[in-house]
Structure 1
């Protein structure tokens, strides 16, 4: 059985770094696009490239939108650190993004993999909203959009707002009203999937390079979560 083709639009971020590694192992990861969100788009791009190099993954990556459609940009340094992926000694990446803006990259990948591609948006929806505006046929080319965002319960920025949607609500509105099948994985779901110190210790004990780096990242992330809650 062939693996499902997936394009990840993201803003790494500790959670997004793990998502990239997991997707590369279990799915056909055809590309990555980066966006503002947890940090500046320059930093989220650098972080994504560093994770790809760490794992030896040959996946094309395009840098995307630096600002929301209409709102002022926000960030999450209190959660992910000053650089957006603090806690591990990641080498400065040697690779560069492809010579194409993420908006055009998403359109190109949708065209190339018509009817087969799942677009997983695990950051703000700015790139995707812009891609739909630029190429309306994209809605017919994508199999579905899987959104990590929103919540059926309390938010994590305000009592009602989840971070990814809060970063660019106008873009989220455009995506949710695009007519593309949406699979929403909200904060109410992600709060049920967690890790603890025992998981970190097991990764460290494996001695594998990628696992040890992820353990360091998760230790930082867990400490920040405990400080905040």
Structure 2
């Protein structure tokens, strides 16, 4: 394996916003990535895992896919859009991997300290459980790449709002973290031209196109912001972004987030080259689907 290979676990609430599926496809279409596994979080995590398994199988890949925490730390009700998995009539035939997602995260990271990156693009419940289950997790993970928060507005963002207690654990753990908030991810859009390119790239591309269009119908729009794929690219193509100096993120009880520069090992994404980012997302998804 090349020394430049990035060893990655994706922690995801795939199935609701289409951006999780697109982030998975970006990872699958990135030759420098060794996707070790996917863990799912929030709500019906078995359904989410089956959907992730279907997508990786369409890409002829076989990372571990393990359902994780369905409930948040304080058992807040999960928001469920209702369309999760509905484009398939046979998802119950997908066999996901056995085991506990938190144990998998802890074991895989501790097996190779400083060698495994975790990309977390849903509520942070699984990651918080891993931190509390193993004091070494925060030390052993190479880097946490998080989609969450908003750092130009006090309004809470979905991922942190769904489980603010978990977010507080994660941002307080001392691991090196890069977090990309809504003020950055909403500057990039995928439109009909992008979706046509994705849809023309094999069976995986056709499924992703249908998932995108389902999300568009849900919001009555003909575009979407690829929040989670942008987060993946902060790891893979950092030259397309600007980042703050290190500091710390403080999470409010409502899931609001503020960044304080200085003491800490967390940085926030501060800018993005929007057109190159969009093109890179599409390029890598097409590569996964071809």
TM-score, normalised relative to structure 2: 0.69
Q: Secondary structure at the match of 1:184?
A: strand
Match in the other structure for 1:218: 212
SS in 2 for 1:174: helix
Of residues 38, 46, 52, the one that matches 1:48 is 52
- Per residue, is there more strand in 1 or in 2? 2
Greater CA deviation, 124-133 or 208-217? 208-217
Distance 1:152 1:60, change over 3 A: same
1: CA distance between counterparts of 2:163 and 2:146? Answer: 13
Q: SS of the residue aligned with 2:91?
A: coil
Check conservation: 2:71, 2:78, Cα contact below 8 A. no
Query: Matched residues in 1 for 2:147 and 2:213: separation?
Result: 22
- State the aligned residue count: 217
* Equivalent position of 1:180 in the other structure: 175
What is the TM-score of this pair, normalised by structure 1?
A: 0.87
CA contact (8 A) 1:50 1:90 kept: no
Q: 1:147-191 deviations in whole A, cap 9, x for unaligned? A: 11111134xxxx611111011000000000000011001111211
Taking only aligned residues, the RMSD between alpha carbons, in angstroms, comes to 2.1
Find 2:69's aligned residue among 65, 68, 89: 65
Larger deviation, residues 46-55 vs 163-172? 46-55
Separation in 2, partners of 1:223, 1:196: 13
**Alpha carbons of 1:209 and 1:89: their partners in 2 closer, same or farther (altered >3 Å)?**
same
Contact 2:65/2:96 (<8 A) preserved: yes
Consecutive unaligned residues in structure 1, runs of 5 or more: none
The corresponding residue for 2:98 is 99
